[in-house]
Structure 1
Amino acid sequence: MSNKNQQAEKVVKGGKSDAIAQKNTIVNLLNRSIKFRKSRYVDQKLELFKKKFAPVNGVSGVVHATSAYDNISSGAGAENVADKVDANGFTRPSKVLFSKDKLNSEWNDIHPVGSGLKDLGQLSSLNAVLQVLTYTPALANYMLNRTHSANCTIQDYCFVCAVEEHIRTALKGSPYALQPRVFVGKLKKMQHGSSNKDAFDVWKYFMEQMQSFLLSEKRSKDKLVQETTALYQIFGGYIQKKLECPSCNKFDNVYDSFLDLSLDLTQCSTVERCLTKHFKQQITASRECASCQHEGGQKGTHSIYKSPMTLALQLKRFNTDADTTKINKFVKFEESMDIKRVITANETVNTKYNLYAAIVHTGQTINDGHYMAYVKSSNGIWYCMDNENVQVVSVKRLLEEKPYMLFYNMSPPAVAKRPKTSADKAKTQQQEITVETEIKDTLKDDYEETQQEIDEDVIMPQIDNREEEKELEALRLKQAMEEVSVKEKVENTAAIVVEHNANMKTKREKLGALIEKESAQSKSAEVKGALLAKTPNNQFQDDIGTWEEDAVAGTHADKRNQVLKQIKPKRKRVDMYDLDYDRGKVKKVKNKQQDDKFSKPNLFQITADMKQSKKSKKHHK
């Protein structure tokens, strides 16, 4: 019994004496890690249960002070905390739902201009917003690649998939107007206080719905993680609020995300001034100070900390009173804009934007107005989208409008060209000399070989003459190439060169310079004057011979009559075929004898009249 008990203790404790007992210990059997992989199959019932119930011990984004302090003191999480928070106190998200590197702020391809949209129930605001979304380059590239629909697991209606289908259909270039029936019914679910007659409210509703459906699959409750969707990577940015505590006079930075900005028009003549005035205003916030835990109102300033890829601006043209009257004021805006004045100090971000869309409201109030969208297509041409009507417009006409919303796209960073040094120039010259020497040697060898072949052809007459001609042509071509390579290249410095990949603005400037140069240096007027001066008897002068002159009237008239008699052709005899051809065929109708019974005299009436006349005669007698 003692041996059996000792053996059992060894099995439980994992003794090293027996190899079999060491493999079958309880620690080895029960301490195995079980790894789970996410199933590719989507169970609908399980998804419904996930929405209904929440785990009791679920992982939250809240980090308690004691646990964080223990992790940092032990050195386990010190590097992670430093990576998540930058020098200005901005907390980076723990994970990114969609990488910004996958987006392109410029068009990937050139697409045909989309068709117009039918106005279903006086919803021109919806049509204008849909046209702007369709011609947003980053969003259009994202939708055309089917990045969302290829991974979407929502079985029912998906708002993002509907927008994707609309953009793909619109950019196919259909000649017929589209009907956005899918979105008309959804506008009825807008929040209380929002109006489907206001394009800005419709824009915010689209942003909310797209963000909600993009997050429906991610299941993340962290706000920073939620703000890394494809929508926020395109339209989203961050504002830094620098607040001062009135108790300890210490500054604290608070960061808020945004998808659009609303600007006040009063006392501003340009959009850039509206933007500057918006961020110069002092802000107040009620919060707890992180240093002294004082709770109360704090004042400070705010600025853009992270600029968005696509900047959406609303100009507050409608008052908040009951009649919602409109501020019909002209505010100047340009095709390009620099927002470096409102960027946080010491932040190196791209601040240059280019205009790609605008929404214009016509009318005096928000209820009786009409919306139009001006968009810049992938070919660089501006179009006016007025419901079903689509027409090309100039930039001048666009800049004369009074916009309600403006949409700017971040310009791509310019690639800085390194200036060539003297060493680079010497290296380039050496390479050119080497290439020229190689070309000359090659041409010389080819010339000698060709001469030898020609001599052999003379000795051997059985070779075809066609081959000789080809070789001679090749020889002449090589000699000409050698002469051209030796000559110095003279560049025309006065020429106006237009590159094929230049933008439209550069091409217009070059065209204007060409017209000015031609008008200054052209001699077409002088040449015309010289040609007219060399023709004394032209059509518009008095010294040309005419038939009415008395001196030569008889001579000219006689000669003319003689010539006309000689060239006068004989008249052809007209036959019946020509007459029928000129007159047209007439239908032949036989003349029938018409027996008109009503035109004959009535015998009965004649007899009655005679009797009546006889009676009257007797009566008179």
Structure 2
Amino acid sequence: QQGFCMMCIMEAHVNKVLHSPVSAILPVAVLKVFRRKSCQVLWQVFFPSCMRELQTSSFLGIGEHFQPGREEDAHDFLCCTVNAMQRACLSASNDLDLSSQSTTIVYQIFGGFLRSRVTCFSCEAISDSYEAFLDVPLDIKAASSLTAALEDFVTPEHLDGDNCFKCNKCKKNVAASKRFTVHRAPKVLTVCLKRFDCFTGGKISKVVEYPEHLDLRPYMSQADGEPLHYSLYAVLVHSGVSCHGGHYFCYTKASNGLWYQMDDESVELRCIDTALRQQAYLLFYAR
């Protein structure tokens, strides 16, 4: 792909990680993108007539709202990065339908499908719809563990009153139940534990337990099949009392089976028990 290509940047970074003898790898190519954004701000002030060309040069292919030197949300950055990789895969195929777009290497690794099933209480008619996803955000306000949050996620929601359902069979608004399930599971499951409180604007700092091994089968549309085992391989942690500040670091399981704490340029060997006792924000499981 000409111009900005997140897949090219990611490929170069992975090759550097696999072949570099040093313990800490600086994502130089990604940093260059943000340095270019800093330059773009200056160009906007001193050379406004040149901005059209800069804006079409894909300098800001990761996310236009990110600002150099400002702390950003890690989940937001992850979503923008994965979406930028998806756009790179589709750069020559913009006219593909949504079903075809979900066949890229990005969706083959991170992508899955959710099923939303609405059941009419009057006639018991069923209405199914499907939505592709690249990660699963989970509400943790009432959950003390990842499995409890997943149970809440698939618990049927009652639709009634102002939130009733218009049944095509009954031809009227009726009470119904709505339930989400994972219809097609991804190879890599990315879970976001929602620690931002929309009502108070604060951070939910409670402990949420998460297992090293996870069976996703109970949360699938076909819940009675064979177990669908995942193993934890990365944990991203936000350290700080507020969502508006703090520090990110992560725990990662390397190819040698050992766990490491990755904190900026610091890389330290850690045990799995330490990785499982964190105030996790993002969890990564692989089949």
User: What TM-score comes out, normalization by structure 2 length?
Assistant: 0.79
- Provide Cα deviations, 1:216-254, integer angstroms capped at 9, x if missing partner: 123443111111111111111111111134675411111
State the partner residue of 2:11.
Answer: 164
Pick closer, same or farther for the CA change 1:358–1:303 going to 2, 3 Å.
Answer: same
Matching residue within 20, 30, 50 for 1:183: 30
Q: Matched residue of 1:275: which SS? A: helix
How do residues 532-571 of structure 1 correspond to structure 2 at under 5 angstroms?
none
Tell me, yes or no, if structure 1 residue 236 matches structure 2 residue 114. Answer: no
Match of 2:231, as an amino acid? Answer: N
Q: Do structure 1's residue 199 and structure 2's residue 67 form an aligned pair?
A: no
1:378 maps onto 2:255 in alignment: yes
> What pairs up with 1:119-518 in 2 under 5 angstroms?
154-175=1-22, 177-184=24-31, 186=33, 189=60, 190=63, 197-245=72-120, 248-282=123-157, 291=169, 299-320=177-198, 324-345=201-222, 348=225, 350-410=227-287
**Larger % of helix: which?**
1
Note if contact 1:220-1:226 (Cα within 8 Å) is conserved in structure 2. Answer: no
Supply the distance in 2 between the matched residues of 1:237 and 1:185 (Cα, whole angstroms): 32
2:142 counterpart letter in structure 1: Q
- TM-superposed CA distance for 1:367, in Å, is 2.9
What CA distance in whole angstroms lies between the structure 2 residues aligned with 1:382 and 1:369? Answer: 23
Distance 1:155 1:373, change over 3 A: same
Relative to its length, the structure with more strand (as a share) is 2
Shift of 1:372: 0.7
Q: Match of 1:368, as an amino acid?
A: G
Q: Contact 1:318/1:325 (CA < 8 Å) preserved in 2?
A: yes
The verdict on how the C-alpha distance between 1:385 and 1:283 changes in structure 2, with shifts beyond 3 A counting, is farther
What amino acid does structure 2 have at the position aligned with 1:155? Q
Q: Distance in 1 between matches of 2:232 and 2:194?
A: 19
SS at match of 1:171: helix
Q: Report the CA distance between 1:335 and its aligned residue.
A: 0.9
SS across alignment from 2:108:
helix
Q: Give the unaligned 5+ runs of structure 1.
A: 1-153, 411-621
- Structure 1 residues 307 and 283: alpha-carbon distance in aligned structure 2, compared to 1, 3 A threshold: farther
In the alignment, structure 2 segments of 5+ residues that lack a partner are 38-59
Whole-angstrom CA distance in 1 between matches of 2:191 and 2:24: 28
**Alpha carbons 1:197, 1:366 under 8 Å: kept:** no
Q: 1:315 to 1:275 in 2, by over 3 A?
A: same
Task: Provide the rounded CA distance (Å) in 2 between the counterparts of 1:196 and 1:283.
Answer: 39
Which structure has the larger Rg over C-alpha atoms? 1
CA contact (8 A) 1:283 1:302 kept: no
Counterpart of 1:204 in structure 2: which amino acid? Answer: C
CA RMSD of aligned residues (A): 2.9
Partner Cα distance (2:283, 2:184) in 1: 19
1:619 maps to what in 2? none
Q: Distance in 2 between matches of 1:192 and 1:245?
A: 42
Distance 1:290 1:226 in 2: 30
- For 2:262, give the aligned amino acid: M
Distance apart, 1:346 and its partner CA:
5.7
Contact 1:240 1:255 in 2 (8 A): yes
Give the letter aligned to residue 188 of structure 2. T
3-state DSSP of counterpart to 2:19: coil
Q: Equivalent residue for 2:44?
A: none
* Inter-CA distance 319–346: structure 2 relative to 1 (3 Å threshold): closer
TM-score (norm 1): 0.38
Residues paired across the two proteins, number: 256
Residues 111, 186 of structure 2: 8 Å contact kept: yes
In the alignment, the residues of structure 2 paired with residue 360 and residue 331 of structure 1 have an alpha-carbon distance, to the nearest angstrom, of 12
Percent identity, aligned pairs only, is 30
CA distance in 2, matches of 1:169, 1:192: 28
Instruction: Give per-residue Cα distances to partners, 1:14-67, cap 9 Å, x unaligned.
Output: xxxxxxxxxxxxxxxxxxxxxxxxxxxxxxxxxxxxxxxxxxxxxxxxxxxxxx
Deviation of 1:176 (Å): 6.9
Pairwise CA distance, 1:394: 0.7
Contact in 1 for aligned 2:157/2:179 (Cα 8 Å): yes
Give the Å deviation of 1:214: 0.8
